[in-house]
Structure 1
């Protein structure tokens, strides 16, 4: 399963808000064996959202969009996603019913547009807030508030499933540029992908579809790089 993530919000592009949602989603999807191949951040602009969602929907098995849900002036994500699928936006009966019966809200208490979702979409209820999300075909629209996004994702997490992977880590004091020959060789010897993450030391992450393959590759590599403890 291949997925793309779209985060929406002017505040992300100005640096006023850290884009923690993308990092969190990438980690959870990776844990479920899903390959995330795109992470794109967009402004609160309907045309941009529609264009990117349309493109990614055609290319990936799933698209997750976060941010810009609600009734305020810059919450235009639902309109953008609806436009990508050629649908109108309007009050969603199931979303309103949930807020009335579970949330304890009266319809007149909700700000105008709170339960407006794309026509024909499946409503995603918000365990930590008010604004609902939605699923349109293989596009999942989630809130931007991290606690709300995480709680809503948990309600659909089982719909994301890929090939399980296993990882092992080797750490070395050698500079990253000096490790290219060993990285190439371990990938030639074993069916693994290698990620290289430099810092005070270099952390090499080996990922395989079988746990024993990752372990064998890590054991080999550990014996061919300088040990951190040396």
Structure 2
């Protein structure tokens, strides 16, 4: 399964808010064996949301969109997603019923709170107000991290793939000096290798067979200089 993650918000692009949602989602999806192919941040603009979501839903098995849910003037994600699939927005009775069960009166709710693309499956917001939605492989989640996490966990079983395993080897050598051993471990074992330089170089070995990954990591660890 391959997935694109789209985060919506002017505040993300301005650097006023850290994009922790994307990092958390990528980590959870990867742990489930799902391949995250794209992470894109776009402004609170209906045309941009519609264009990116429409492009990605044609390329990937699923698109996860976070941020911009609610009834305020800059909460336009549902409208953008509706435009991407050519549907109108309509009040969702199921979402309204959930809100009533949570103690919200319909008369007190701001107009548009429960508007979802026509025919969408509503996702209940266990820790907030604005509901999420699922339609045509598009999953729309809130931007508030606590709300997003709770909602994703309610649908996490819908995302699965081949389990992958990872081991890390730390080398106290320049990255360029490690190229021969990186090439050799890839030839010897069915693993991929990521190289991440810093004070030391972190070599991340991943593969679909746990024993192979462990053996490859042990082989490589014996052939690099380790930090003291």
The TM-score bracket by the shorter chain reads over 0.9
CA RMSD of aligned residues (A): 0.7
Residue of structure 1 equivalent to 2:41 = 41
> Tell me, which stretches of 5 or more residues in structure 1 are unaligned?
none
In the TM superposition, what is the alpha-carbon distance from 1:224 to its structure 2 partner? 1.2
Q: In structure 1, how many angstroms separate the alpha carbons of the residues matched to 2:204 and 2:128?
A: 37
In the TM superposition, what is the alpha-carbon distance from 1:147 to its structure 2 partner? 0.4
Residue of structure 2 equivalent to 1:69 = 69
Q: Aligned pair 1:220/2:222, yes or no?
A: no
Residue of structure 1 equivalent to 2:185 = 186
Residue of structure 1 equivalent to 2:150 = 151
Residue of structure 2 equivalent to 1:11 = 11
Q: In structure 1, how many angstroms separate the alpha carbons of the residues matched to 2:196 and 2:149?
A: 27
What is the count of residue pairs matched by the alignment? 228
Q: Aligned pair 1:107/2:106, yes or no?
A: yes
Q: In structure 1, how many angstroms separate the alpha carbons of the residues matched to 2:209 and 2:171?
A: 24
Could you list the per-position Cα deviations for residues 116-162 of structure 1 after superposition, in whole angstroms to 9, with x for gaps in the alignment? 00000000000110000000121000000000000000000000000
Residue of structure 2 equivalent to 1:202 = 201
Q: In structure 1, how many angstroms separate the alpha carbons of the residues matched to 2:177 and 2:21?
A: 34
In the TM superposition, what is the alpha-carbon distance from 1:87 to its structure 2 partner? 0.2
Q: How does 1:57-136 map to 2 (within 5 A)?
A: 57-101=57-101, 103-136=102-135
In the TM superposition, what is the alpha-carbon distance from 1:38 to its structure 2 partner? 0.2
Residue of structure 1 equivalent to 2:32 = 32
Q: In structure 2, how many angstroms separate the alpha carbons of the residues matched to 1:76 and 1:137?
A: 19
Normalising by structure 1, we get a TM-score of: 0.98
In the TM superposition, what is the alpha-carbon distance from 1:199 to its structure 2 partner? 1.6
Q: In structure 1, how many angstroms separate the alpha carbons of the residues matched to 2:10 and 2:44?
A: 6
In the TM superposition, what is the alpha-carbon distance from 1:223 to its structure 2 partner? 1.3
> SS of the counterpart of 1:109?
coil
Q: In structure 1, how many angstroms separate the alpha carbons of the residues matched to 2:44 and 2:177?
A: 44
Q: In structure 2, how many angstroms separate the alpha carbons of the residues matched to 1:22 and 1:181?
A: 34
Q: Which runs of 4+ in 1 moved over 2 A?
A: none
> Tell me, which stretches of 5 or more residues in structure 2 are unaligned?
none
